[in-house]
Chain A
């Protein structure tokens, strides 16, 4: 198949396969949303209160449909009537739709190994990670498809769905502010604008509470491990995950490039993390296993025993549980942190 070596299987293909598997692993962990290709504005990642939302859609009393919305890729999407049959192609959208009270309108969803809420489990899967079954989606006769941007849903699939007349709203949150905007966008697309504004506001309040609680604390150098089965994967520069760590009161150690998720061990040793967080704890990685890795014993975090598991899904998934995610992240970085009771919004 490969050009250069039709006979002996070239090592390139194996390498490519491994790379794809690893990328898929990262995407599973991060829902693909931490991958950033666009240049993203960094809302002054100092842990202070977030700037207020720029888009404040008034819950319009006038008929909400037909509506024309601009999605995260800048496409104008016309939705003629309030959607009754929705296909959700990102795990976060599925969570948002349920949180907005329209989960029962989802007729098809993306594969998700950590499906939430449980009610979403029985909904048929019509897409996997990086794949999308166009025929199955068209067969469901949806009146709205919410797809993932930045190549999470294959762009050709989005194009095909639009070509047969199905409105496709593409969401992609490279930063926390866009998560709030996407919730409101999803609300307007599904006739739940007021609920969406309320949900975004309560999330924002949770974020502000964490930011306030961590404002005066020391900011330890934090390495958030996404995967280390082969190479070591962590947050890219200016990525969503790096922003979350900063908001939770940590100083994120990043890969050194906005496009790379792999961090060389030498760079990590030089950065000397004071806290190592295990986003791959769900895959069986333990603090003991990390401490036993060759070369890691020189890091402050390993010597101090500051290696802690995290619940990766709620931290990296840009959905309604992100407030809980930030709280858990702040507690993982500052175990003694005194946070106000949950649901601060």
Chain B
């Protein structure tokens, strides 16, 4: 008796949930629009709040003044303007950009490697970037490379070099499948990690800087850095979105993709390059931020299913949301590492989704 009476409402909620899922799967565009609205709201919130309290009216007036040149007649101190325009704006927008970049790169690598545990860093980019940053920090002279900073430039180059080496080495073996690529990435990554450990051992006073890079964060965000990284991210992301169908094909397996008319080797190389470009640009401005690239694509897939055409744009929006929110949390909690906050916020949410998941998917 009790079993049936308890069973009925449970079944009813399940039906409602199934309907919601169905709606989400059928209308990914509406869902995308909804997430973008949330992102907009989060960005406004994140620019409005920080360590220093600035009246919302002042923030709006400064924004209107700087963005549109509209004078509202309001006055504010130079410090307020510096905080809103020079500190918070680039920081929040960088967080959104990096979140979007890591999530889209994660979705790409997971699909490409058909490995649910792949993330943007899986093929050695993280170790390469970290070693690059460490080497830059060990160079005693401080050089600024086109407003970018030596550390950021070296991190970018290090990430791209690492993935290039991994790709080239994996092609040398007669067995050139995705498994070979993954294992080569692991081996090269381990070598680079050993180099990083050595650099850290020798670093003396710069250890803290290297460590900060490993934790990642947006304290160093500036307008020029954003302006340099953004085009790279936009170009890479657009290229990936353009290839969503190809990615869907590749997810079926190499043979199936080839039957569908996909030039597997070429497309795989292109997607790998685009994903790595986006990752390297993100890592160069923010250091190594984990979790986003691994988990956001899975969250999206749990909601809309595995099709790359829905997963890629939604991952972009959701990744941006997560890091803007996490960075706001990190700032309000006294500049704790953003990766800590994103994992603290995201992991329980992910577990909740996993528990509620009705149907799974396989990569």
Contacts and interface: CB of A to CB of B under 8 A. Distances in A.
Interface residues of B, dominant DSSP: helix
Interface in B118-133: 118-119, 121-128, 130
A20 B207 contact: yes
B208 A20 contact: yes
Contact of B196 (A12, A36, A150): A12
B126 to A, nearest CB: 3
A267 interface: no
Interface stretch (A91-99, A136-144, A180-188): A136-144
A155 to B, nearest CB: 7
Interface in A14-47: 15-17, 19-20, 23-24, 27, 32, 35-38
B172 interface: no
B274 interface: no
B83 interface: yes
A12 B79 contact: no
B51 A19 contact: no
B273 to A, nearest CB: 18
B247 to A, nearest CB: 20
Contacts of A24: 208
Nearest to B88: A135
A168 to B, nearest CB: 14
A110 to B, nearest CB: 14
Contacts of A12: 193, 196-197
A4 to B, nearest CB: 3
B330 to A, nearest CB: 12
A141 B82 CA distance: 10
A138 B87 contact: yes
Contacts of A154: 208-209, 212, 219
Interface residues of B, number: 60
Contact of A3 (B78, B127, B207, B222): B127
B127 A19 contact: no
A130 B192 contact: no
Contacts of B220: 156, 160
A54 B219 CA distance: 39
B120 to A, nearest CB: 10
Nearest to B217: A131
Interface string A209-244: 000000000000000000000000000000000000
B200 A6 contact: no
Interface string B200-218: 1110111111011010000
A37 B137 CA distance: 12
Given A3-B124, A10-B193, A20-B211, A135 B205 contact: no
Nearest to A155: B142
Nearest to B196: A12
A129 B208 CA distance: 9
B186 interface: yes
14 contacts: A1-B288, A1-B291, A1-B339, A4-B192, A4-B193, A6-B119, A16-B214, A19-B207, A129-B208, A138-B52, A151-B205, A154-B209, A156-B220, A259-B202
